[in-house]
Chains A and B, each alone.
Chain A
Amino acid sequence: MQAQEIYEKLKAEFGDAIIEFNAEPFFDPFVLVTTDKLFDICLYLRDTQGLEFDYLSCLGGMDYKENLGVVYHLYSIKLKHTFVIKVTVSKENPFVPTVERIWRTADWHEREAYDMMGIQFEGHHNLIRILCPYDWENFPLRKDYVQPDEYHGMKVPY
């Protein structure tokens, strides 16, 4: 199914929760959705006949300077089509519902997005750091991150 058709289906089902559809050439076509309907949209994409996105190929955290965001790359192994969903959240209030119960892959990916960007996934069963040590402070891939001078007595700068 083409991205345009998927978008139309989503728009008919969820209305205002779909903020924007972008199908510029050279990019993967994506829809921007609101966080409060994200879980329902993902469930719909997975379970509807003709969409059947049974595979989350990638989930990534983003820092857009003013906002944070999460990007979901979906793929249907059965129907061989792809789709991209994006959400944005503010830096002060970075709460996004988890999709871990829809695609099991999201478990570690969400932990990574939390570890690097500080995005809080509500409802995640085990939202702890995955790459950095557990007692690491701040979120290193944010654009305004300043690296510490010392970690456990070891000097960080060169």
Chain B
Amino acid sequence: MGLLNKLDDPYYGGGIILGKVEDILNWGRSKSDWYLQFGLACCAIEFMAVNASHFDFMRFGCIPRTSPRQADFIIISGTVTFKMAERIKVLYEQMAEPKYVISMGSCSNCGGPYWEHGYHVLKGVDRIIPVDVYIPGCPPRPEALEEGMIRLQEKINKQAIFNKRKRLAEEEKQELIIDN
């Protein structure tokens, strides 16, 4: 968004920023995303590596929360079995709005190696909860997860906060027009 770059701009000068409240709110929101401390399978190992000092997830402003009530987003890091799927849905529903989901790895994207004979695996977590960012890989490298995080921040930055209902209604109307 480059809000801070405007300070260097001679046109704006004098330490004054002209901008939208929405931008500054989104800037704050995207730079302090707290995630649910929650891992599922082998992907969770990579996820832990991202948390550790080499990759340092905290520089994105991400702090692990152990309660879904305090979490802004959840990383589905691994194989979603049917037994776990129901728990994931409960966790997701317990999170406060606005909430985001990152699907990490082939397993949670589409079933991964269990796509054919995995009688116990849900073939994609998007069958039960909406997903914002998909990260491919089995497992994705830590850099890939960081890339996913940057994508999520970009997405949050672009979100509309005010008059959301009105805007959504308008969008819906337009979709209807297109559909018809």
- A: residues with CB less than 8 A from B are 131-133, 140, 145, 147-148, 151-152, 154-158
Q: Mind listing 15 A-B residue pairs with CB under 8 Å?
A: A132-B120, A133-B83, A145-B119, A147-B119, A152-B82, A154-B82, A154-B122, A154-B127, A156-B82, A156-B119, A157-B123, A158-B110, A158-B111, A158-B115, A158-B116
Interface: B85 (CB within 8 A): yes
Q: Which residue in chain A gives the minimum CB-CB distance to B116? A: A158
CB distance from A138 to the nearest CB of B (A): 9
The interface residues of chain B, by DSSP majority, are classed as loop
Bound together, the chains give a CA A132 to CA B118 distance in angstroms of 12
Bound together, the chains give a CA A133 to CA B85 distance in angstroms of 11
Interface size for B (C-beta < 8 A) is 14
Whether B111 pairs with A155 at a CB distance below 8 angstroms is no
- B: residues with CB less than 8 A from A are 82-83, 85-86, 110-111, 115-116, 119-120, 122-123, 127-128
Whether B120 pairs with A140 at a CB distance below 8 angstroms is yes
Residues in B neighbouring A132, C-beta threshold 8 A = 83, 120
Residues in B neighbouring A158, C-beta threshold 8 A = 110-111, 115-116, 123
Q: Which residue in chain B gives the minimum CB-CB distance to A133? A: B83
Q: Which residue in chain B gives the minimum CB-CB distance to A156? A: B119
CB distance from A59 to the nearest CB of B (A): 21
Q: Which residue in chain B gives the minimum CB-CB distance to A147? A: B119
Bound together, the chains give a CA A158 to CA B114 distance in angstroms of 9
CB distance from A107 to the nearest CB of B (A): 20
Whether A155 pairs with B119 at a CB distance below 8 angstroms is no
Bound together, the chains give a CA A71 to CA B110 distance in angstroms of 36
Residues in A neighbouring B120, C-beta threshold 8 A = 131-132, 140
Whether A154 pairs with B119 at a CB distance below 8 angstroms is no
20 new A-B contacts, CB < 8 A, other than A132-B120, A155-B127, are A131-B120, A132-B83, A133-B83, A140-B119, A140-B120, A145-B119, A147-B119, A148-B119, A151-B82, A152-B82, A154-B82, A154-B85, A154-B122, A154-B128, A155-B123, A156-B82, A156-B119, A157-B123, A158-B116, A158-B123
Q: Which residue in chain B gives the minimum CB-CB distance to A148? A: B119
Residues in B neighbouring A133, C-beta threshold 8 A = 82-83
Bound together, the chains give a CA A154 to CA B111 distance in angstroms of 13
Residues in A neighbouring B82, C-beta threshold 8 A = 133, 151-152, 154, 156
Residues in A neighbouring B83, C-beta threshold 8 A = 132-133
Q: Which residue in chain A gives the minimum CB-CB distance to B86? A: A152
Bound together, the chains give a CA A154 to CA B82 distance in angstroms of 8
Listed residue (B86, B110, B119, B123) with the most chain A CB atoms within 10 angstroms of its CB:
B119
